[in-house]
Amino acid sequence: MTALDLPATVPVLGVRNLSVSYNDVHALDDVTMSLGAGRICGLIGVNGSGKSTLFKALMGLVVPRDGSVELFGMSSASARKQGLVAYMPQAEEVDWTFPVSVSDVVAMGLYGRLGAARRLRAADRAAVDDALERVGLSELRKRQIGQLSGGQRKRVFIARSIAQDARLLLLDEPFAGVDRASERTMTALLKALRDEGRSVLVSTHDLAGVPELCDEAVLLHRRVLAQGDPFQVLTHGNLALAFGPAPAAPAAPPAPSVATVGSTAAPAAAPAAPPAAPNGES
């Protein structure tokens, strides 16, 4: 485990007044958030609320209209060059028919610090073995990735970020298509990584696991609706703002009047079951 020579006061992730537009559509509007070392943050919102766009901005894949992104007190590009950032794609973004094995994918975490031909030395192979061991996939290392279950597939990518020794893990919808048992395994794994001083940003629109997993939460709907302690963020009023009532015009930010309507209409729903959330997605 390499210690990082960065002052503890520098946030792992610092986003200031970030706005991102695709042509005329405002995907993110004036988002400000930060994350310290050794913290797990849940990024909560419906599909289309800007979670993926925020991830892309953090990774330098979209150009902000306004505002700034800093990772470990430096530019996103510098942090990426140093291998500090890891990303777990959504299941739909991965070609599961691709002819790579579990250990091939985990080894890809090391490429940033290998020679030009990316040949693995003994120490690198050991790093791959260790990462596979930690996520419990040693037995399945030779499997083609499409031959894994949903939960195992997610763990391959967590192992990749362990092999990479990344300090900030960006996980895009890690619990989608994963059963409860796998979700518990992953939660324990992520907490262990956090306890080593790594930071994790988890996007999700499934609220059930958030208080169990996350140290803090950010509720996003193009703007930051609430952030802080997960229990305070996930109040009925806030959830109504983010998830329901089903938006009539998904492309527009919620009108101010929705707040009052939503906060009185929503209390019937339990916090663990957002009202009609996945149905109103854009």
Partner 1 sequence: MDVLTFLLEPLQYGFLTRALAVTVAAAVVAAVLSCWLILMGWSLMGDAVSHAVLPGVALAYILGIPFSIGAFVFGAGAVALIGIVRSTTKLKADTVIGVVFTALFATGLAIVSATPSQIDLMHILFGNVLGVSTGEVWQVLVLGALTLAILLFKRRDLTLLAFDRTHAHVIGLNTRMLSALLLGLLALTVVVGLQAVGIILVVAMLITPGATAFLLSRSFDRMLVIAVVLTVAASVAGIYASYYLDISTGAAVVLCQALVFTAVYLFARPDGVLWQARRRRAASRSGSGSTIARSAAGVPPTPTPPTQMPPTDLPAADGPTAGAAAAPPSASRTPDAALPGEA
Nearer to partner 1, 55 or 262 (CB): 55
Give the nearer residue to partner 1 in terms of CB position, either 109 or 262.
109
* Least distance to partner 1, CB of residue 179, Å: 4
Retrieve residue 125's tokens. 């192979």
Nearest-approach distance from CB 164 to partner 1, in angstroms: 7
Nearer to partner 1, 8 or 270 (CB): 270
Count Cβ neighbours within 10 Å for each residue of 201-234 and write b for 16 or more, e otherwise.
bbbbbbbebbbebbbbbbbbbbbbbbbeebeebb
Smallest gap, in angstroms, from Cβ of residue 47 to partner 1? 4
Give, in order, the Cα–Cα distances in Å from 262 to each of 28, 86, 221, 245, 266. 22, 37, 14, 6, 6
The least CB distance from residue 224 to partner 1, in Å, is 19
Check if the beta carbon of residue 105 is closer than 8 Å to that of residue 132.
no
Q: Six-digit token pair at 131? A: 């990462």
- Closest approach of Cβ 20 to partner 1, in Å? 11
Instruction: Pick between residue 99 and residue 256 the one whose CB is nearest to partner 1.
Output: 99
In the bound state with partner 1, the residue whose beta carbon lies nearer, of 68 and 147, is: 147
Nearest approach in angstroms of CB 219 to partner 1 is 15
Q: Minimal distance in Å, beta carbon 9 to partner 1?
A: 25
Q: Report the residue number, 19 or 144, with the smaller CB distance to partner 1.
A: 144
Judged by beta carbon, residue 9 or residue 124, the one nearer partner 1 is 124
